[in-house]
Structure 1
Amino acid sequence: MNKKKTYSTWFLVPAMAIFIIFFMVPMVLSLFFSLTVWNFNGFTFCGLDNFVMFFKEASLRIGIRNSLIYAVLTCGFKLTISFFIALFLTSKIKTKTIQRSIVFFPNLVSTVAVGIIFKALMHPSKGLLNKALEVIGINGPDWLGNVNLALFSVAAVDVWKGLSIATVIFIAGIQSIDKTYYEAAMVDGANFWQRLVNITIPLSRSAMNSIIILSFIGGLRSFDLIWAMTGGGPGFATDVMASIIYKQYAAGYYGLSTAGNVIMFVVIAVIAFPLQKWLLSKEVE
């Protein structure tokens, strides 16, 4: 019995080793170096000075606000749009296999490449988007240069790129629903909307929760698309927590940027864990 227990325990070693080396060790080191002023030649302990300095930065408050707005927008639109696309692609249409491949295409393109392409498409005078609007007599705005519009423009591109994964998750969730529920509902005279509200939405709650968690956390820690499209500008209009941390690191404030990473980790954890617990409590058992 003891031999069997020891033998089974050994299967945990590879996973535990990976977890400790690639998660626990970097996390402890980050926490330590966030309390120092360091460079590649050495470090000096400074206590909580980095955290105090970071919270005094006006850009941090802007970054947290922008991160929350960005996360809520991208998560909400991905969830809503991908659900109806998945609903369409799980119907009895003949070309659904081809259309699923088309929907998944944006996920195959690098995020940075997507950012560069859309930056060109959204150029105020030469961009294809504004050129198309000119044809129908509309003066297109400066999508990425307007401080009131830039964050929403980047969020729209993020939604376009992220729809593919969300749609695939929803398709899997919808297809896993037992067809007998729909058959029984139709026998009782339920129409399409009644079946949608009372069967499809409640029974695809697990897929919905996965999308909310992944999209929301992804929105909070988003960096590459924003940096490729705007670099955090104009001004601080599209600066998020990750871009502020990167700017501090690029300027040589390594301890300050490490403290920023710790702050971002705590902010995401404080939001994500209660959100996940609340969402799981709403699932249909």
Structure 2
Amino acid sequence: MASATIAPTRRSRRTAGPQPKRGHNPYPLWFHIPAGVFFVALFVIPTAASFYFSLTRWTLFEVEFIGLDNFVQFFREPALVRGFTNTFIYAFLTSAAKVVLGLLLAILLTSQIIARGWLRSVVFFPVLVSTIGVGVTFTVLLDPFDGIVNQLLGLVGIEGPGWLTDPNLALLSVAMVDIWKGVGLATLIYIAGIVAIPQEYFEAARMDGATSWQNFRFIILPLARPATVTVIILSLIGGLRSFDLIWAMTGGGPGFTSDVIASVIYKQYQAGFFGLSTAGNVVLFLVVAAIVVPLSFWLNRKGSES
């Protein structure tokens, strides 16, 4: 009797109302207009203007079209090769460290530990601090003579190096500060990804006698893949576009040893070569797009296949 009354209800649910087509957008076109206006005003128009001005020699009062001369001169820049190399080293080093440390910290901060909420705030706090403020602070802390870091090393008999004055350590030192500042955001993204995993998976694994490593390998790692993709893409974009922290701590020095593409562009702007610096920005935009777009497509496609 019960089944006879339930069956019509199920049929009525299946047939009630028109079913939306697969891929059909449920929102009307006008619903997207505000976002489209902001996208055109804040991205399309400035990008088109940048491409145009990169083909000119311009000041605030004069514009002269010179074609591709700015790009030719930009690629003749002596510090450009070093800037490209440092940019890729910096971007991949900081991105890899944020992925690994962010995941480990997220696992720790989603476990049953004391003061978990307070520790989450502590880890995320550096993200909220001004990048320039962080750069100035660590410049003082890493001073080779009066910095606290070298003074603490001296207490245990270790002679501290010139963190920001040694050509072999300057870029690495800035990268470590960047990791310290940015790992909180990666941790937050991973926490959201891990918390979203249904607890039934962990309960089933516990009943089967799975170890912590097996939980990590077969549950957390694959199901937190969307978070991993997000952290990789955001960290890589930030690393390839890095400028403010490097400029605040080293100014691209000593010499050109910590120069990245963005700092090379800024030095051209300081020298008054506005068209040349605009061409450099276009090159940087194309480099970031050429790396991030295929990588994002590949990571998302691989995730959908698995």
Shorter-chain TM-score category? over 0.9
From 51, 76, 79, give the equivalent of 1:59. 79
2:67 aligned with 1:47, yes or no?
Answer: yes
Larger Rg over CA atoms: 2
Query: Where do 1:171-210 residues align within 5 Å?
Result: 171-210=191-230
Partner of 1:83: 103
Matched, 1:263 2:283: yes
Shift of 1:11: 2.0
Quote the offset at 1:8 in angstroms: 2.6
CA distance in 1, matches of 2:158, 2:301: 48
Distance 1:19 1:281 in 2: 26
Q: Which amino acid aligns with 2:253?
A: G
Q: Letter of the aligned partner of 1:20 in structure 2?
A: V
Aligned residue in 1 for 2:147: 127
2:186 maps to a residue whose letter is A
Output the CA distance in 1 between the equivalents of 2:30 and 2:257.
Answer: 51
Give the aligned partner of residue 170 of structure 1.
190
Alignment of 1:98 onto 2:118: yes
Structure 1 stretch displaced more, 202-211 or 275-284: 275-284
- Pair 1:219 & 2:239 matched: yes
- Structure 2 Cα separation of the partners of residues 13 and 87 of structure 1: 41
- Is residue 2:248 matched to residue 1:228? yes
Deviations 1:222-246 (A, max 9, x none): 1110010001111111111111111
> SS at 2:63's partner residue?
strand
Q: CA deviation at 1:19?
A: 1.0
CA displacement at 1:130 relative to structure 2? 0.2
Once the two structures are TM-superposed, the CA of residue 266 in structure 1 deviates from its matched residue by: 0.3
Q: 2:36 aligns with which of 12, 16, 19?
A: 16
Three-state SS of the structure 1 residue aligned to 2:111 is coil
What is the aligned counterpart of 1:245 among 258, 265, 274?
265
| Unaligned 5+ runs, structure 2 | 1-24
The residue that corresponds to 2:13 in the other structure is none
Match of 2:177 in 1: 157
Per-residue CA shift, 1:166-199, capped at 9, x if unaligned? 0000000001011111111121121110111111
Q: Distance in 1 between matches of 2:167 and 2:73?
A: 26
Alpha-carbon distance in 1 for matches of 2:116, 2:55: 54
Residue 109 (str. 1) matches residue 129 (str. 2): yes
Asked if residue 280 in structure 1 is aligned to residue 274 in structure 2, the reply is no
1:25 aligns with 2:41: no
CA–CA separation in structure 2 for the residues paired with 1:233 and 1:17: 41
Pairwise CA RMSD? 1.3
Question: SS in structure 1 opposite 2:75?
Answer: helix
CA apart distance, 1:103: 0.8
Q: Secondary structure at the match of 2:303?
A: coil
Cα distance in 1 for partners of 2:174, 2:41 equals: 35
SS at match of 1:44: strand
Q: Which runs of 5+ in 1 are unaligned?
A: none
TM-score, normalised by the number of residues in structure 2:
0.89
Identical columns (%): 53
Cα separation, 2, equivalents of 1:181 and 1:21: 46
Mean Cα deviation higher: 233-242 or 111-120: 233-242
Paired amino acid for 2:287? V
What letter corresponds to residue 233 of structure 1 in structure 2? Answer: G
